[in-house]
Structure 1
Amino acid sequence: MAHAKPHLPIKVCVLCGRPFAWQRKWARDWESVRYCSERCRRARSAAG
């Protein structure tokens, strides 16, 4: 059974507005992460 991860920091995606939690792949640059996914990151140029 997987364990819950209740104490991870959460941000809101700038593009879609969805909340997303910290992931290990973002550990080095969590302060600069703005998008919840690669899809939102790529769509930033189309949106604005």
Structure 2
Amino acid sequence: MHRKSELPSKICLECERDFVWRRKWARCWDEVRFCSERCRREVRRARRAG
């Protein structure tokens, strides 16, 4: 049985919170940079605004 404390984690580039590996990211964990879709959208919005 897996424990959450044993899963790899990263820090979100937008909100700077720690987030852990999810099964849906199994194939692309190296490319994951944001904890959520909302954080990813906020970065894109900030870039467009200037």
TM-score bracket for this pair, using the shorter chain length = 0.7 to 0.9
How far did residue 22 of structure 1 move? 0.1
Q: Under a length normalisation based on structure 1, what TM-score does the superposition of the two structures give?
A: 0.84
**1:28: which partner in 2?**
27
TM-score, structure 2 length as denominator? 0.81
TM superposition shift of 1:43: 0.9
State the aligned residue count.
Answer: 46
What aligned pairs does 1:1-48 form with structure 2 within 5 A after superposition? 4-48=3-47
1:3-45 deviations in Å (ceiling 9; x for gaps): 7422100000000000000000000000000000010011111
Q: Distance in 1 between matches of 2:46 and 2:15?
A: 10
Which structure shows the bigger proportion of residues in helix conformation? 2
CA distance, structure 2, for counterparts of residue 33 and residue 12 of structure 1: 10
Structure 2, gaps ≥5 residues long: none
Superposed CA RMSD = 1.4
Deviating beyond 6 angstroms after TM superposition, the runs of 4 or more aligned structure 1 residues are none
